[in-house]
Structure 1
Amino acid sequence: MNLDTILKAKKESISIAIAGIIFPFLTGSGLYALHRKFYINNNSFHLEEISTHAYLMWSLILTVTGFPNLVEILSELKLHYTGLGKVALTAAMISDTYNWILFALLIPFSSLDISNAIYSIISTSLFIVVCIFLVRPIITKYLEQKTEENELDEYVLLFVVMGLLLCSNITDILGTHDIVGAFVYGLILPHGKFADFVMSVSDDFGGGFLASVYFSGTGMRFMIKSVLTHANWALSLLVVLLLCVTKILGTLFATFLFGRPTKDGFAIGLLLNTKGALALILLSIAWDKLIFFVPTYAVLTTSVLLMTMVVSPIINMIFKPRKRFQQTKLRTIQKLRLDAELRIVACVHSNSHATSIINLIELFNATRLSPIYIFSLYLVEITNRATALVVAHMEKPTPKLGTQNTLTESQVELENITFNFHSFGNRDDRDAFTVQTTSVVSAYETIHEDVFNSARERGASLILLPFHKHLSPNGNLLETTNAVYRDINKNVMQDAPCSVGIFVDRNLGSFPKTNLRIFMLFVGGPNDREALAIAWKMAKHRNVQLSMIRICLTDEAAEVDQSVHSEEALQGMLSYVMDNEKQKELDEEYINKFRYSAVNNEDSISYSEVDIRTGEDVPRILKEVDQQGCDLYIVGQGNGRNSRIFSNLLEWCECLELGVIGDILASNIFGSSSSVLVVQQYGFGGMQFGKNNNAFGSLLVKTE
């Protein structure tokens, strides 16, 4: 648990958490009275004797929020990196902390007389103080030393389990509950590598076996027929429904005070209504101590299960996370106003990726009048339980000096990435850059959805992705870093809510004092216009020389590929023919604007044209261009270029996501030493990477 997140939480999250606790706690007594009034005892089932303990336990169960379960739900729906998700996460963490405090304070009052309960609370508080201020420094020093020396083994884990059992027994003897001791023991243990080691060893046995055995008792005691067989069963079901709305109403009130829409307030309340292990533990305590009998236990268990089960489908129905990336406006650099802030989502897998992306962003000519907002995402594959990893990466870690070795590898990498991006943003021209860094912890198969959410949440115009290959140590060849990174890039390109750029870095380096030369190769189409818009923006920097080379297709090269076989490909072909003339008009209009506004007024910008007649001319022309010397190529991805020569060349492409020209420039066979930025414009449709033997079929334009 990240206590810094709780201590530094904003007023909104704190208010939502408090309202979500107080309102259910106050209304719980009235609902318990209704339950007792509506339920009619029979020969098989009867209610417990009325007691203060029953009222207290009933209300306490209603206040609980299952933070681990909430994280799982938000992660599944890809909402935990949105504004709403972050508010819900922080409020749930605060609520969970309050729940544990209330649990430790009120459990003694639910089973003991007042004098013994006060003694239990005082002694438990002293135990917690001793653990935090006396035991924690000793055990932390010992375990961190073992971690730094890589001496973590089964014997260390044995001592950890013995400490767990000792703390649990102490709090049980003191009159609270053994799980309070286990919770405190978990708080005083060090995090980082040690925590990962304990979780990797214990999760399968603890979560897969022990937890299942423990909670199976909840299922065996749950007798729903006790609710449905008495005369007023419909009123008992009404009580169940009312139990489900108390926390939602409290949250709605708090969110209303902060001006949030009703839909958001309802969603946050529904999320905070998620129950988890603590609610079921409280039910088990109430059963074991004979505070609740079968009917009351069944009513509460039904409401707890219902509250948790309905959250995911209702939230999905309200927000439709997988269907909300409809084209409402063009999020492209071409359509961006000159004085508008350029918002970039920079995705990285390592600190070396962060360095290369920063070098690229440095070329975008940020000024105080035209600033750049950089939201960097460190993409981390989820390998352990989602709860632990998401909590560990909700905020960037702030390790103290000398404790770096106790951090996990991903935390150390995030620290380095954060340092690099914020050092970049804190330069002399800091007003031109705004930098924010976070990590995304998800399965690689679905991590692109988190990228989409982040881009949409921040109104980004461009997503930058690192190529899945890196330059070899000798600096001659590109070698595969991780093949999975290529799949991520493909997934992002297919449905991105803004334009996308894939950066092939060949040691572009930080911005030099001398001039840096950029070649922009323009064939035609929306992707090339977006690439030209980026090149144009970079060309406004005083140290950049831009050469815009237009590749004109003539004769055989201009012929449209008609080798289509499937009905889908034929429809794409017809769509292309109908749109071809319009695209040519847009190309001419934008190039004329570029030549009039840029080429004629800037000595650092040049324009030239080359003709291509056959497929053999493409690599030849590119070779001639490369011999002139270039630091960075900017090219369009080329989706929709359905000319015959590109269809034929596509069969030889190794990386379809780069397009024909991008693939040639990035190939080791071509032998270029220049970096490459491949651009795909939003609004024209993403590239289809399906298994299609027909080259043209893989270049179909998706229509909205």
Structure 2
Amino acid sequence: MSINSNDTLFYQIKRLNETIYNVCIEAPPPIVSDGLWAGHENGKTPMKFFFPMFELQLVIIFALTQICSFLLKPLRLPQFLPQMIVGLILGVSFELKSLEAYMGKLFPYGTHDVISSISSLGMVIFVFINGVQMDFSLITRTGKKAWIISIIGLCVPLCVLFLPLLTLPGRIEAIQKVHGGGGIIVATLSHSLSQFSTIASLLSELQIQNSELGRLSLSSALVCDILTTIISANIIAVQTSSNSTPILRNMILLYTLIALIPLVCRPIMFWIIKRTPEGRPVKDSYIYVIISMVFVLGILSVKINQLFGLGAFILGLSVPEGPPLGSALVKKLQFFGTTLFLPIFVTTCVFKADFSMDMSSYVMVSAGLLVLATHLVKMAALFITALCCKIPVIDALCISLILNTKGVMEVGIYNSAFDDQVIDRKIFGVMMISIMIIATIVHWSVKLLYDPSRKYAGYQKRNMMSLKRNSELRILVTLQKQNHISAATDFLDLCCPTQEKPITVDVLHVIELVGRALPLFIHHHLQRQALGSTSYKSYSDDVILAFDIYENDNQNAVSINTYTAISPPNLMFEDVCNLALDKVATIIILPFHIRWSSDGVVESDDKKILRALNRRVLEIAPCSVGILVARANSMQKPTSITSECSMTQLAIIYLGGNDDDEEVLCLAKRAMNNPKINLVVYRLVAKENIVELEELTVIGDEMLEELKNAENVRYQEVFTENGSQTASFLREIVNEHDFFIVGRRHETQSPQTDGLAEWSEFPELGAIGDFLVSPDLNSSASVLVVQQQLSRVNDVKK
């Protein structure tokens, strides 16, 4: 190969032998061009300068990555795979004679180091962000299953596949003498490990990190990642020299760095949090100081012969996870680290590999077979261990697959090994191909095998209509904001808890996961017992205090347990449904995503979290569901349910012939026992189907008769022809009541609601519920829309 200096960014190039060149470069190097016209005059075009060439390469890589992502989207591949495919395409293009000249113009000799160095910043930031998102305290709270699975999954492959090193030392030494033979040990070691960031990315793409399987996989990966970092750091310190004195010095400096970062930097970060007013963002100056510390600690890590990312990783672990500081760092660095520079880093890493596979190469074939054997051994070890931990077969298989996946971190590990000349280009190419194949197989397999919503299906009926007369009523109340508390307690009053008919309430406070990778679920009663009341501090202090007061005001009638779930918005429904399933809840009460003021102005609208949560829970809930629409001023009126001086006007809209409406009557039966409630039952009947009055179900007929004969219940039959007459009637009564309970009438049609659904803005509320919450009515009444548990027997059989 002969290189002309005109085709590079260097001043002069002199060939010394086949692979070594003597390169001369101007000082200072040409970074920014003189412009198109000035460059034309002095003979230096913009493409002879580093920065314009870097921008061009950036555009090329970004455009190809987006094209590949679009074309491969139907295959549902891992997100980083298109970036690797672009690197493969560019690398192969250099080998083609027809494209060699063009590729030399786009990626001239001398620019590879520049783009690799700049994009490596993305890898360092990625490592730091993953350290920030890790909850290191989870190590002490992780159950035995995670420890057993992670340790066996790490040790068994290493012990089994390193046996040849002990039994056949001569053969291994002969292989090591071959150029690139170090790839044998690198492949065995790296493919035996499980990287936390890789597994967290996979679970996030599959949207199962909130499931029990996802939590166990993340916990196991966290333990393995921490153990791996400790072991690898010590191995690197020992291998830096053959003399004991430098080794001892490196070990002392290593542990000094590990100890000083948390002891010095963590108190500084807590001081930053203390200086940040509640609800206010962290100052940008503090953020920039911490980012500077990332690179300073990286330089110190290199000075003690460690990897550049070690200092960034330890600093990330020292950052208090979550808001305000952890979330601010993640938001600030997410774009430049993960979105911009990291894909370029992945592409340029694969770009270096040699994909001209030589199947006659003993080392290459050995490396490929060893990768396959490592994963088979590790899968078998994890699968058997999971079964011994009494995990179902499908879940055990999924865990073994998840903990075997590979991703961006492995690309960085092999790139470092290649740069340090531990492996050659061909072995590097084998490793890149193995990452792509393994990631694809795991992604497709887990998506096919694991359905987190399957466990919510069951034959057992969990709704109010199926409750026996004296059985316990269990309610799950879901909250997100403080203004949801008063509406929830008013609903509990409506259920009329007494010593003879007590209720059990599980309160779940959902919080958006920001600045951390691990979802968190807290049982506050157990945490109080473990930590003590004096040292106890919670994310949900206001919620806990409010419901503690409510429980004390209703002693022996209400039993309340509070929980906090910190998870991604698109997976909050998992926490809600899991808790409802575990606690055998009869009904889930969800807050509506919009809050209106008395004059119809929207005070808050949270479509991103609450509306998505409500819709998903309605689809898969293991029990009945109620969406509570609370007006901003309805809880402040003297006619609220908790008022002692006036009666509450409660209205039931009943159409009959639907399970949702039967569930509404069950709530009415409980509410009529409250002496502070005036209950009105409006029975809407279509004029052309008056015979419908005589065709009520037996259960509905019994409950209606009981409500008719109650002293504080008024029963009224209303005849309507269509949805227009129903809407007119609702307008007449809407200001006469403080609270409405209606059925959602899921997937049913009736003459009484004909035409209403066409104008429905919120389908999750049903036709009548949507009409009652419309701000056009100028109503201050709260509305509870009830959906009975959906039948999912067919899902179970499948």
Partner SS, residue 551 of structure 1: strand
Give the drift of 1:2.
Answer: 1.5
1:428-448 per-residue CA deviation (whole Å, 9 max, x = no partner) reads: 4497333322133135xx866
Take 1:61 and 1:423, find their aligned partners in 2: how far apart are those partners? 54
Contact 2:187 2:370 in 1 (8 A): no
Give the drift of 1:233.
Answer: 7.5
- Which of 6, 13, 22 is residue 146 of structure 2 equivalent to? 13
2:208 matched to 1:66?
no
Aligned position for 1:688: none
- Aligned AA for 1:350? K
1:633-687 per-residue CA deviation (whole Å, 9 max, x = no partner) reads: 21112346634342144455554443343344333444443321111223379xx
CA RMSD, 1 decimal: 4.4
Structure 1 residues 62 and 679: alpha-carbon distance in aligned structure 2, compared to 1, 3 A threshold? same
Aligned position for 2:331: 200
Structure 1 residues 613 and 161: alpha-carbon distance in aligned structure 2, compared to 1, 3 A threshold? closer
Give the drift of 1:29.
Answer: 1.3
2:222 matched to 1:93?
yes
Take 1:671 and 1:415, find their aligned partners in 2: how far apart are those partners? 34
Contact 2:522 2:563 in 1 (8 A): no
Aligned position for 1:407: none
2:446 matched to 1:315?
yes
Aligned position for 2:701: 592
Q: Which segments of 5 or more consecutive residues in structure 1 lack a partner in the other structure?
A: 399-410, 560-580, 686-703
Structure 1 residues 118 and 39: alpha-carbon distance in aligned structure 2, compared to 1, 3 A threshold? closer
Structure 1 residues 591 and 322: alpha-carbon distance in aligned structure 2, compared to 1, 3 A threshold? closer
2:648 matched to 1:519?
no
Take 2:699 and 2:652, find their aligned partners in 1: how far apart are those partners? 14
Aligned position for 1:567: none
Alignment of 1:118-157 (within 5 A): 118-138=248-268, 140-141=270-271, 144-145=274-275, 155-157=285-287
Aligned position for 1:185: 315
Partner SS, residue 201 of structure 2: helix
- Aligned AA for 2:142? A
Structure 1 residues 40 and 329: alpha-carbon distance in aligned structure 2, compared to 1, 3 A threshold? farther
Partner SS, residue 434 of structure 1: strand
Alignment of 1:327-476 (within 5 A): 328-338=459-469, 342=473, 344-365=475-496, 371-374=503-506, 376=508, 378=510, 380=512, 388-391=515-518, 393=520, 416-417=542-543, 420=546, 428-429=555-556, 432-443=559-570, 460-472=585-597, 475-476=598-599
1:406-437 per-residue CA deviation (whole Å, 9 max, x = no partner) reads: xxxxx997554465456656874497333322
Give the drift of 1:124.
Answer: 0.9
Aligned position for 1:618: 726
Q: Figure out how many residues of one structure are paired with residues of the other and give that number.
A: 633
Aligned position for 1:288: 419
Take 1:456 and 1:599, find their aligned partners in 2: how far apart are those partners? 35
2:299 matched to 1:169?
yes
Aligned position for 1:695: none
Take 2:565 and 2:159, find their aligned partners in 1: how far apart are those partners? 38
Take 1:206 and 1:370, find their aligned partners in 2: how far apart are those partners? 54
1:106-156 per-residue CA deviation (whole Å, 9 max, x = no partner) reads: 222344437243432222112222222244434643575367797956554
Contact 1:665 1:676 in 2 (8 A): yes
Structure 1 residues 100 and 416: alpha-carbon distance in aligned structure 2, compared to 1, 3 A threshold? farther
- Aligned AA for 1:638? R
Partner SS, residue 633 of structure 1: strand
2:371 matched to 1:240?
yes
Structure 1 residues 421 and 199: alpha-carbon distance in aligned structure 2, compared to 1, 3 A threshold? same
Structure 1 residues 114 and 274: alpha-carbon distance in aligned structure 2, compared to 1, 3 A threshold? farther
Q: Which segments of 5 or more consecutive residues in structure 2 lack a partner in the other structure?
A: 1-133, 526-536, 793-797
Alignment of 1:554-569 (within 5 A): 554-556=686-688
2:606 matched to 1:479?
no
Take 2:620 and 2:711, find their aligned partners in 1: how far apart are those partners? 39
Aligned position for 1:405: none
Give the drift of 1:589.
Answer: 0.8
Structure 1 residues 257 and 554: alpha-carbon distance in aligned structure 2, compared to 1, 3 A threshold? closer
Take 1:259 and 1:537, find their aligned partners in 2: how far apart are those partners? 42
Take 1:397 and 1:372, find their aligned partners in 2: how far apart are those partners? 16
Contact 1:638 1:659 in 2 (8 A): yes
Give the drift of 1:529.
Answer: 0.8
Structure 1 residues 7 and 531: alpha-carbon distance in aligned structure 2, compared to 1, 3 A threshold? same
> TM-score normalized by structure 1?
0.76
- Which of 249, 255, 264 is residue 380 of structure 2 equivalent to? 249
1:542-594 per-residue CA deviation (whole Å, 9 max, x = no partner) reads: 556463525152534759xxxxxxxxxxxxxxxxxxxxx8x985x43113332
Partner SS, residue 754 of structure 2: helix
Take 1:624 and 1:139, find their aligned partners in 2: how far apart are those partners? 59
Structure 1 residues 299 and 367: alpha-carbon distance in aligned structure 2, compared to 1, 3 A threshold? farther
Contact 1:36 1:47 in 2 (8 A): no
Contact 1:28 1:62 in 2 (8 A): no
Give the drift of 1:313.
Answer: 1.5
Take 2:472 and 2:212, find their aligned partners in 1: how far apart are those partners? 20
